[in-house]
A = this chain, B = another copy of it.
Amino acid sequence: MVTPRRFLSDKLCPVRAKRERRKEARPGELIAAALDLFVEKGFAATRAEEVAARAGVSKGTLFLYFKNKEELFKAVVTENLSGRFTEWNKEFEVFEGSTSDMLRYCMRVWWERVGSTKASGLTKLLMSEGSNFPTLAEFYRQEVVRPGHALVRRILHRGIDSGEFAPVDVDHAIYAVIAPMMFLMLWQHSTPMCIDGQAVLDPETFIAVQTEIVLRGLSARPSA
């Protein structure tokens, strides 16, 4: 993220200047702190100063790295969600095996890398506060929803093309795949709603079961 102009002298001086190391680490630390707080309290209720404090810097420093709170939020989304789609797209390009396995793999990987992490809270945040912050909502749609849908769409097309899946309206079928993910994300970040905080839903089982249901629904050969 930062152009390391001192590459040569760094070689000569392997113990990089502490200050400079911090400088490169700062954006990441701030983004991490912001992710925590945004997920915990929402966008509006998170105070810039608190993010800075959690990252161990002062108020002013935050604005040294991010023009304003919205840009900070966008960076959080980019770092934790949209930035990963290129990697995922590549994985799926080289995937060999049935499309059913591909979808299973997709769901599992999503759970491991997003659903079960704090990043899933960002989705909930957008659902709650999106209408109050149209800029953020639009950014999220462009950077996360659109590529996410595209990824799922590709899988569905692959299945249909190969004859594994019945030919359905892909644009609608997408939601059958995404709905369980959405639900899990919401559920996870709404535990305060459960009395006594009982953990009742086993997410991995839920994902597995829902995946099979969806697959059966999509299958070209109707289950007997």
Contact = CB atoms under 8 A, between A and B. Distances in A.
Interface residues of A, number: 39
A192 B40 contact: no
B145 A189 contact: no
Given A129-B42, A130-B190, A186-B186, A179 B195 contact: no
A127 B183 contact: no
B193 A145 contact: yes
A42 B124 contact: no
A132 B45 CA distance: 8
Contacts of A192: 126-127, 130-131, 137
B141 A195 contact: yes
Contacts of A124: 127-128
A200 interface: yes
A171 interface: yes
Contacts of A126: 190, 192-193
Given A41-B131, A192-B130, A200 B183 contact: no
Contacts of A190: 126-128, 130, 182
26 contacts: A40-B131, A41-B132, A42-B44, A42-B128, A44-B44, A44-B45, A125-B128, A126-B190, A127-B128, A127-B186, A127-B190, A128-B128, A128-B129, A130-B190, A137-B192, A140-B193, A141-B193, A141-B195, A149-B195, A171-B198, A175-B200, A179-B187, A179-B201, A182-B186, A182-B190, A183-B183
